[in-house]
Structure 1
């Protein structure tokens, strides 16, 4: 999977590796387009801050949903279902 800005100044690539079990599943962007949220194979959720190399991983996640609208203070919420 490749996430790239329209102007090409930012690009982040995630290579699938079937042997290692690394592959990208469901992907969503937050409403403000500042983060990409996606499942890696297995049970790991990844949250990438776009335009940076900052990525957070949360293990033991079964699925997720991204709230479509930010709260008044600008926070986005993820609804997680642990295994």
Structure 2
């Protein structure tokens, strides 16, 4: 990869994952956040921070788009 251009890397990652690099990273962060919501009793703000989101409002927004429910709703549904 050291001789690969930025565009080449972008295209290779998109071919492998089906997602643009930023979208892929965001989905990995959201999956990690979902794991924390299932396994830990941390606050939503702590989970947002721990999973790499600097703005909890943005985290809640993208989490809802990805999972179809808020982080709190997700946590409650997994513990139900």
Same fold (TM over 0.5): no
Which category of TM-score, normalised to the shorter sequence, fits these structures?
Answer: under 0.3
Q: Please report the TM-score for the alignment, with normalisation by the length of structure 1.
A: 0.22
Structure showing greater relative contact order (alpha-carbon pairs closer than 8 Å, 6 or more residues apart): 2
Q: Please report the TM-score for the alignment, with normalisation by the length of structure 2.
A: 0.22
